[in-house]
Amino acid sequence: MTPILWSFRRCPYAMRARLALASAAVRVELREVVLRDKPPAFLETSPSATVPCLDGPDGVNDESLDIMLWALRRHDPESLLEMPEEGFDLIDICDRPFKAALDRYKYASRFDDADPGVERSRAGDFIAGLNSRLADRPWLFGDRPRLADLAILPFVRQFAHVDLAWFTAQPWPDATRWLEAFKTSARFRGIMQKHPPWHPGDSPVQFP
């Protein structure tokens, strides 16, 4: 059975899962989900009703980082997993305090006590740290991407695109260069192809 990946094109969590699957060349059936109209088959599969969700031979996995690791432990031609433990620490900061500040900045109206300016500044502290790390290297851990780059970049992109003019005006030239290299890459174009929402009976969409 081909594993099924329930995904949403613009979701950064789903992006990171697709990035790893594409790098690993692990073939899945891609099912695009409309988040405001989730199909019953998806809701029956995903314990959290969130994307990405991988329904594979080892069971159901709806944690994006776990999906990345699942794919790359099967095939890692770019050696993305060759990364110091510090890389996982950066991913953890991205996934917890940075993402919390990003959500309270981007979706401030959803929170009673969110100050978008304060939250943007908090998130910006993380970007400033990445910028310092990238000052003498093209990727977070050297001359090629590692797992941390692909796990973090979709969220940096989301943060930047809340107000791209503001982001590019900040003193983060190396983080901006890193993000632009990602956004203009064949890798990114490959995982961002548009697909219609999945419906029962549709022909399978193979990815990558």
Helix (H) or strand (E) holding 29: strand 28-32
Q: Where are the domains of the chain?
A: 4-78+189-207, 85-185
> What dihedral do alpha carbons 120, 167, 142, 27 form, nearest 10°?
90
pLDDT (tens digit per residue) in 153-200: 999 999 999 999 999 999 999 999 999 999 999 999 999 999 999 999
Q: What's the pLDDT at 61?
A: 96
> What whole-number distance in Å separates Cα of residue 94 and Cα of residue 127?
10
Average pLDDT over residues 135-153: 99
Q: Burial of 95 by CB count in 10 Å (0-12 exposed, 13-18 middle, 19+ buried)?
A: middle
Do residues 38 and 26 make contact, with C-beta atoms less than 8 angstroms apart?
A: no
- CATH entry, 4-78+189-207, from 3.40.1180.10, 3.20.20.10, 3.40.30.10, 3.50.50.60: 3.40.30.10
C-alpha dist (Å) from residue 93 to 38, 87, 88, 191: 30, 10, 9, 24
The class that CATH gives domain 85-185 is: mainly alpha
Average pLDDT over residues 36-52: 95
What length does the chain have? 208
Alpha helix (H) ranges present in the chain?
A: 12-24, 40-45, 64-74, 85-93, 99-106, 116-133, 147-160, 164-168, 173-183, 186-191
User: Between vectors from CA 207 to CA 68 and to CA 70, what angle results, nearest 5°?
Assistant: 20
Return the number of other C-beta atoms located less than 10 Å from residue 142's C-beta.
12
pTM: 0.96
Q: What's the pLDDT at 1?
A: 85
